[in-house]
């Protein structure tokens, strides 16, 4: 029996695009989405101080709800026994920052990655010539038909040890 898959996505809209693409092709893989944006504000430690900072500095209230919704994400995204496929683009600060936190929490557990940073896509307009190929930039920016027709999930590859080491060095440097 094949191992079940959980797709780990770091934006809500990107998760919606991927869910639609998977459903449209008859796949029933689970997709979990991160609710927060770790591309700004304090993130260490991940506690109420983040919500307080966001309120005092940015005037954003209700961030406690985002934090509580993120707890279920962490349970699902880090659960064992399933193949984990993380979707991100190193071109997106939000996706990459969220991915780095997930990877840090994942520790040494195996995972696959779909990094859209160097992926180009194009599609044919309903009427007219095909559009020029362009960088995908982010899962959020892709229509579910493009995700499905290009079978972007086939780009999933095991996380390279060099990337894990780079993340570890960066985290160690940031902790100093």
The percent of residues above 90 in pLDDT, for the chain, comes to 53
pLDDT tens, 88-127? Answer: 999 999 999 899 999 989 988 999 999 999 999 886 666 6
Q: In the numeric block, which tokens belong to residue 22?
A: 């998977």
Going from N- to C-terminal start, the domains of the chain cover: 5-175
CA gyration radius for the chain?
17
Neighbours of 73 (CB within 10 A): 20
Kindly list the strands in the beta sheet with 30-33, ordered across the sheet, starting from the edge strand earlier in the chain.
30-33, 5-9, 83-88, 112-115, 157-158
What is the distance between the alpha carbons of residues 13 and 48, in angstroms, rounded to a whole number?
25
Per-residue pLDDT at 125: 66
């Amino acid at each position: 029996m094949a191992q079940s898959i959980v797709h780990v996505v770091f934006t809500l809209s990107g998760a919606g695009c991927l869910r639609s693409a998977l459903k449209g092709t008859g796949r029933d893989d689970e997709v979990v989405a991160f609710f927060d944006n770790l591309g700004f504000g304090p993130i260490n430690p991940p506690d109420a101080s983040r919500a307080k900072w966001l309120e005092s500095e940015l005037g954003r209230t209700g961030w406690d709800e985002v934090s509580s919704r993120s707890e279920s994400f962490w349970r699902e995204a880090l659960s064992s026994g399933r193949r984990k496929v993380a979707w991100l683009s190193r071109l997106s600060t939000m996706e990459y920052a969220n991915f780095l936190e997930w990877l840090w929490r994942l520790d040494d557990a195996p995972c696959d990655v779909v990094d859209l940073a160097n992926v180009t896509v194009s599609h044919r307009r309903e009427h007219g010539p095909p559009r020029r190929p362009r960088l995908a930039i982010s899962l959020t920016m892709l229509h579910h038909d493009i995700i499905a027709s290009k079978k972007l999930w086939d780009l999933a590859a095991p996380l390279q040890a060099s990337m894990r080491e780079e993340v570890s060095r960066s985290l160690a440097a940031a902790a100093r």
